Structure 1
Amino acid sequence: MSKTVAKAVHVLRSLAEAPKTIAELARELGVHSSSALRMVQPLVDGGLIARGPDGRYRLGLRLVELGQQVLDEMDLRVVARPHLVALADATGATVHLAQLVDDQIVYVDKIEGAATIRTWSRIGRAVPLHTAAVSKVILAALPAPHRDRLLAAHTFTRFTERTITDPAEFREHLEAVARLGYATDRAEFEPLVHCTGVAIPDATGQLGAAISLTTVRAAADQPAADNPLHRLREAANAIATALGRPLR
């Protein structure tokens, strides 16, 4: 990657975190403000970033269009969406669809249920491997060498008192997930937020995707008002069938 392209990528990633002035971007890039301005102008011209009334630069709407195009070209998302909407309508919960893309598990769709929950998750955002229900079921089903490579590069950050931070303990946890056929996130990433997830085989039969239901409960061990597992499995089977790979 050329230095110019690398710096442009840095600008996009930086602005994804928060809007910045040209002086702030220049400091991050280690260049003079005039050089930074020349560097960002092509991004502005292309609609990838925009300058607001306050003088700060932020991500542009063209990125939304490009991101939507990428998502629309993902067959799994197109096939799964009506089933995700139906699941959200039936449960009132937030529904997530995640997929293994290269070496990251990424949220590729999210349907807000009637009982809207504002959570950290966002379409296009990488899933926390050691806390999310969707990542656990995908990891549990991966071939061991692939799973080991992903976990070896992962940092087991503690987010709540229930987060599993020991790699060995997490591997044992994944063995239990594989036996059960589903995974849970019991306030392991966000307090009060609980998820149940099941995996979906893709068109090749690999378990590279998963769906989950997200609810909020005051107590970590408080049962949900309605056990969502059977609904999740029905939705996963419907998606798998549409992809030509019904679950067994």
Structure 2
Amino acid sequence: MSKTVAKAVHVLETLAAAPKTIAELARELGVHSSTALRMLQPLADGGLIARGPDGRYRLGFRLVELGQQVLEEMDLRAVARPHLIALADATRSTVHLAQLVDGQIVYVDKIDGAASIRTWSRIGRAVPLHTAAASKVILAALPAERRDRLLSAHAFTRYTERTITDETEFRDHLAEVERLGYATDQAEFEPLVHCIGVGIPDATGQLAAAVSLTTVRADADLPELERLLGQVRDTASAIAAALGRSAS
């Protein structure tokens, strides 16, 4: 990195901590005030910094615009895929990545595990809102108004004897999902198919995606399913970190 670029980065990092006068910035950079002013001018011209009414410089709105563009162009599937593959290999189970897209929760990736049988899910297919573990954790984290919009247009179809078909009961179920921080699908859509899902927060802390792990067996053994929770959580955390989410 050139000295000029390094100093520009230093300016931005300094102003991110607090607005500063030209004299304060000059002291921070170890240069004369006139030199500091020349360094700041290109940043100000580009909208990366701005001078407030109090004479102090602060970060500019252009940085917000650029940051938002980075977030919008971040390809969740590309970022998540190596972590999904690692989870599928470690557990020999099928792993799904689901995302809220244009008012629908859809499967955006799927890694078939070595010990799995073929399941209904397909990449690009809408997730059954009231049965899938991945959709439950996303719904539980949504603002109430947005969640209500999705559920009001949803048909609570019965697929198995375990399917929750009552909307009020399902909303209570989502409250429990929010409390626990994960969701399960215990043969609620397909017989023998059991899933556990964890949400993936993005860099802003919003949760609009989830990773789920699918096992196929005759009994709905919840303790056995929850035994895999730690690995699913680790995967969700790794994807979140790759998306720029700081560890909390």
**TM-score in terms of structure 2 length:** 0.68
User: Shift of the alpha carbon at 1:206?
Assistant: 1.0
1:214 paired residue number? 214
- Percent identity over the alignment is 77
After superposition, what is the alpha-carbon deviation per residue over 1:45-101, rounded to whole angstroms, capped at 9, x for unaligned?
xxxxxxxxxxxxxxxxxxxxxxxxxxxx76110000000000000000000000000
AA partner of residue 135 (structure 2): S
What secondary structure is seen at the aligned counterpart in 2 of 1:199? strand
1:83 is aligned to 2:91: no
Answer yes or no: is the 8 Å Cα contact 2:107–2:121 preserved in 1: yes
1:117 is aligned to 2:117: yes
AA partner of residue 228 (structure 1): L
Give, in whole Å, the separation in 2 of the partners of 1:201 and 1:187: 26
After superposition, what is the alpha-carbon deviation per residue over 1:165-211, rounded to whole angstroms, capped at 9, x for unaligned?
00000000000000000000000000000000000012332100000
Give, in whole Å, the separation in 2 of the partners of 1:247 and 1:166: 37
Answer yes or no: is the 8 Å Cα contact 1:138–1:208 preserved in 2: yes
1:153 is aligned to 2:153: yes
Q: 1:75 to 1:222 in 2, by over 3 A?
A: closer
2:98 paired residue number? 98
1:175 paired residue number? 175
AA partner of residue 241 (structure 1): A
Uncovered stretches (5+) of structure 1, i.e. residues with no partner: 1-72
Give, in whole Å, the separation in 1 of the partners of 2:84 and 2:113: 10
Give, in whole Å, the separation in 2 of the partners of 1:137 and 1:247: 19
What secondary structure is seen at the aligned counterpart in 2 of 1:224? helix
Show the 5 A alignment for 1:165-204.
Answer: 165-204=165-204
CA RMSD of aligned residues (A): 1.5
Once the two structures are overlaid, the 10-residue window that deviates more, 203-212 or 154-163, is: 203-212
1:18 paired residue number? none
> Based on CA coordinates, which of the two structures has the bigger radius of gyration?
2
AA partner of residue 244 (structure 1): G
Answer yes or no: is the 8 Å Cα contact 2:156–2:167 preserved in 1: yes
Give runs of ≥4 in structure 1 deviating > 6 Å: none
What secondary structure is seen at the aligned counterpart in 1 of 2:207? coil
2:64 paired residue number? none
Q: How many residue pairs are counted as aligned between the two chains?
A: 176
AA partner of residue 137 (structure 2): V
What secondary structure is seen at the aligned counterpart in 2 of 1:208? strand
Answer yes or no: is the 8 Å Cα contact 1:200–1:209 preserved in 2: yes
**TM-score in terms of structure 1 length:** 0.68
